[in-house]
Amino acid sequence: MKLYIACDMEGTAGNVTWDEVNQEKSEYAQFREIMTKEVIGICEIAKTKFDDICIKDGHWTETNILLENLPDYCNIIRGDDGRNLTGLDSSFDALILEGYHAAGGEITYPLSHTISDDIVFEIRLNGKRIGEKTLALLNAAKYNIPIIFISGDEKAVEEALSCLPDLVGVITKKLSNTSYICKSPQKVNGEIKKALTQALSNFEEIKEKLIYRPSKFDLEIEYAKYFYAKKAANYPNSILEGKTVKFKAKDLDEFLHIINLCI
Ligand SMILES: [Zn+2]
């Protein structure tokens, strides 16, 4: 059994500022360690079911997870090649999302964004704001891969559960005014181990319910700058309205194609 673990940093325990997730800042070292421990905690539970575990470091330069601490039964995909969930294909049996965060457009959340806040303000699918969680679910759906588990801030978990109500999630932090109330990393690690153990216990029975399959793909991308919108509106049959471009994708493949091409 083969598992893909997609990791991000803004939704791991404790961090609340961009400096804490930026490799060029001194604060970063602590949060890189916290992220690594969170990922290792997931691996320790996941290895009871999966004999092949592939970790995808998905934050910024995609070189955050500390390698010397990784268990020997894991592989890791590192480095930003501009693709979403590099290496994910139909050979995988399941996906886990770690450290996910509020979507672009959730303006009260300090670390909210979708892919790049320089380019995208907000993405909407069928009228609903979506972020990197839903994009990950849809990338997995392309290969019929179910999602076992998500950890991240409250908005990340809420968004994933709104797509897949049977999904198990652990919330690392909640909004309080415009900052976060964070659980301690130790508490988060304990909760992840417990929740993931529970999720694995009935995964086989419910896995068909853990694949997100929207019935249509009406996509709107509201860009951060008019320049990007105007460029994206070259896509066939799209409609430009201010900084927003409306696309009508005929199916999942076209939806993912537009996301890759137009962001
Ligand atoms: Zn990130």
Residue type for position 205: E
Q: Report residue 43 as tokens.
A: 């691996």
CATH topology of domain 2-113+132-210: Rossmann fold (3.40.50)
Amino acid 74: pLDDT:
96
d(CA 79, ligand 1 centre) in Å: 13
* High-pLDDT (> 70) share of the chain, %: 100
Amino acid 111: pLDDT:
95
pLDDT under 70: residue ranges of the chain:
none
118-176 pLDDT, tens per residue?
999 999 999 999 999 999 999 999 999 999 999 999 999 999 999 999 999 999 999 99
d(CA 39, ligand 1 centre) in Å: 14
- With vertex at residue 91, the alpha carbon angle to CA 34 and CA 76, rounded to the nearest 5 degrees, is 25
d(CA 239, ligand 1 centre) in Å: 30
Q: DSSP characters for 80-138?
A: --S-SSTT--TT--EEEEEEE-PPTT-TTSTT--SS-TTTEEEEEETTEEE-HHHHHHH
Amino acid 67: pLDDT:
97
Amino acid 80: pLDDT:
84
Domain layout of the chain by residue ranges: 2-113+132-210, 217-262
d(CA 245, ligand 1 centre) in Å: 24
**What is the pTM for the complete model shown?**
0.96
